[in-house]
Amino acid sequence: MILVKTPVGQQAFKERSVRLTPRQRSAFILFDGYRSVNEVLDAGVGVAREDIDQLIELGLLGQVGSSADAANAGQLSKPSAVAAAPAVVPSSSDPVPARSNQQRYKDAYPIATRLTGSLGLRGFRLNLSVEGTSSYEELLALMPKIRAAIGPEKAAPLEHALGD
């Protein structure tokens, strides 16, 4: 089973409005929509199944494909895989519009979280920093640290998403 952070969970985590144990905080951070429950349990951070169950009961985590996943698509500042407006196919005579910084952030954020999350405990603080960003400028400022941690070849997709 794959779990994701709910909007309520992200807000509670950011504001620290719900008291979580260190193990629960670690588990919450590790759930990125890509890792399964078993992968988080096997990550070596001491997370128990009861910790995960409590995060679900509190509404901080939800299953991928559930209403929590749909709610994540409408978050205030985090990127969304769901397009809000219908796609418009430009004609060959239309100039290609430049992407806004907000769009660059939306494109780059999931890549940055995936890359830093793949570092495991070694990149735990860097992953927290990425998850704490809310703008293109903040994410761009972390780019040198991300590049240093994962290497230039793995950082290329993130640099492309931030650029152009």
| pLDDT single digits (tens) 70-117 | 444 434 334 433 333 344 444 445 455 677 888 888 888 888 888 888
Q: 91: burial class by Cβ within 10 Å (0-12, 13-18, 19+)?
A: exposed
pLDDT at 79 (0 to 100): 41
The distance from CA 4 to its chain's CA centroid, rounded to whole angstroms, is 9
> Packing angle between helix 152-162 and helix 136-150, nearest 10 degrees?
170
User: Are 116 and 58 in the same domain?
Assistant: no
Q: Which domain holds residue 150?
A: 101-162
pLDDT given at position 164: 55
77 falls within a domain: no
- Report the pLDDT value the prediction gives residue 28, as an integer from 0 to 100: 87
Q: Indicate if the alpha-carbon torsion angle 137, 79, 12, 145 is positive or negative.
A: negative
Number of domains forming the structure of the chain: 2
* Structural domain contains residue 91: no
Q: Give, as one character, the DSSP assignment of residue 95.
A: P
Query: Which residues lie closer than 8 Å to 15 by C-beta, 6 or more apart?
Result: none
pLDDT of residue 144: 92
Decide if 109 is inside a domain. yes
Length of the chain: 164
Regarding whether 68 and 9 lie in a shared domain, the answer is yes
Please check whether residues 110 and 59 belong to one and the same domain.
Answer: no
Which positions of the chain have pLDDT values less than 70?
65-97, 164
For the stretch 34-41, contacts whose Cβ atoms lie closer than 8 Å and that sit 24 or more positions apart, written own/partner, are 34/2, 34/114, 34/117, 35/2, 35/117, 36/1, 36/2, 37/1, 37/2, 37/3
Determine if the pTM surpasses 0.95.
no
Could you tell me the two tokens for 100?
A: 């806004």
Q: Are 7 and 72 in contact (CB under 8 A)?
A: yes
Give the span between the Cα atoms of 44 and 55, in whole angstroms. Answer: 18
Please give the DSSP secondary-structure letter assigned to residue 133: -
50: in domain = yes
CB 143 within 8 A of CB 158: yes
